[in-house]
Chain A
Amino acid sequence: MMNVSARSTQYRWVAFDVPGLKQESHTDNIQNYLSTMFFELAFED
């Protein structure tokens, strides 16, 4: 293992008391509606 030093940034996201989201009769896929954070690699410097 090699040590690599770099400037880094700490990000923190918190949600409290998140209500459950229930499947309803016209919901196609509940996974599409649950609150979710997505990440996409923009570039590597």
Chain B
Amino acid sequence: MKTLLLLLIASTFLLTSPLNAEPPFEFGEISSSDMDLEYFRDKYPGEPAVIIGNIGECRFDYDNNRGFQFVIRRQYRIIILNEAGLDYGNFSIPYYNSRGVFENIRRFRANVFNLDGDEVNRTRIRQREGFTNDRGNNWHELTFAFPEVRVGSVIEVRYELVSDFLFQLRSWQFQHEIPVIHSEYQINLPSFFVYYASLRGFIDLDIILNKSQPVIPGRSEGEIALLMDRLMDK
């Protein structure tokens, strides 16, 4: 009986803990209640916009011609709360090309959602609607000025960045100048590539998990233990 009770408590804890946190949105799916402007304005007073979710997944692929490449799949959703946030209707993706080694962007999709009464209207944006800027020093950017962006709009973007630059794995920015509700980065790393990871800044991560050896030797396991302690204290 005691064992059963312990199992019940443990499973409740695991099911409700942030370790099981699901992404906060499904790309392309939204309801009018997800666009409740007053809710966001009350929770984040004075903020021009709020990033609802910023999620990156990095994996390594092998191409017969180009060898190993990393692919980052990013999903991003933001809500505009006032006029100052309209600048977030402009979106850029920087990429680097140099002497036969490339980064490119593929599978770009974006939506702008607006509420008309209780009805959600969607404006679709495709990659061909963007334009390319040369930023110098081999850097370029794919830029979009999203249409139909107004106060209350929800903008979501999804794309993949494919890169030959294995020595320069893209960094992941958890913090922005506006609040972020859920920021997440995942890497599926083949055992023959070893990277050092370091977090710069002033925030603590809420979840640090790996299914094998820690990427920062001697650190991640301790941080997982710390997280578990913190959860037990709640």
Q: What residues of chain A have their CB less than 8 Å away from a CB belonging to chain B?
A: 1-4, 6-23, 30, 33-45
Bound complex: CA A37 to CA B219 (Å): 15
The answer to whether A16 and B21 touch across the interface, beta carbons within 8 angstroms, is yes
B175, A10: Cβ atoms closer than 8 Å? no
Assembly CA distance A2 to B175 (angstroms): 37
Known: A14-B182, A21-B202. 5 other contacts (CB 8 A): A11-B209, A15-B205, A16-B21, A21-B177, A34-B173
A12 touches B184 (CB 8 A): yes
A39, B169: Cβ atoms closer than 8 Å:
yes
* Given A1-B63, A2-B62: A9 and B210 interface contact (C-beta under 8 Å): yes
Return the CB mask of B165-190 against A: 1 if under 8 Å, else 0. Answer: 01111111111111111111111111
Tally of contact residues, B, Cβ under 8 A: 56
B interface residues (Cβ-Cβ under 8 A, vs A)? 18, 21, 47, 60, 62-64, 166-213, 215
- Name 29 interchain pairs, CB-CB below 8 A, sorted by A: A1-B62, A3-B62, A7-B191, A10-B187, A10-B211, A10-B212, A13-B199, A15-B174, A15-B175, A18-B179, A18-B203, A19-B203, A20-B178, A20-B179, A21-B177, A21-B202, A22-B177, A33-B201, A34-B173, A35-B173, A35-B202, A38-B200, A40-B196, A41-B168, A41-B169, A42-B196, A44-B166, A44-B193, A45-B192
Measured between alpha carbons, how far is A36 from B183 in the docked complex, in Å?
11
Q: Is the CB of A35 within 8 A of B201?
A: yes
In the complex, A34 Cα to B203 Cα: how many Å?
A: 9
Main secondary structure of the interface of A (DSSP, over half): strand
**In the complex, which of the residues A2, A6, A7, A10 has the most CB atoms of chain B within 10 Å of its own CB atom?**
A10
Whether B171 pairs with A36 at a CB distance below 8 angstroms is: yes
A33 CA / B187 CA spacing, docked (Å) = 23
Given known A1-B64, A8-B190, A11-B187, contact A35–B203 (CB-CB < 8 A): yes
Most buried by B among A2, A12, A15, A42: A15
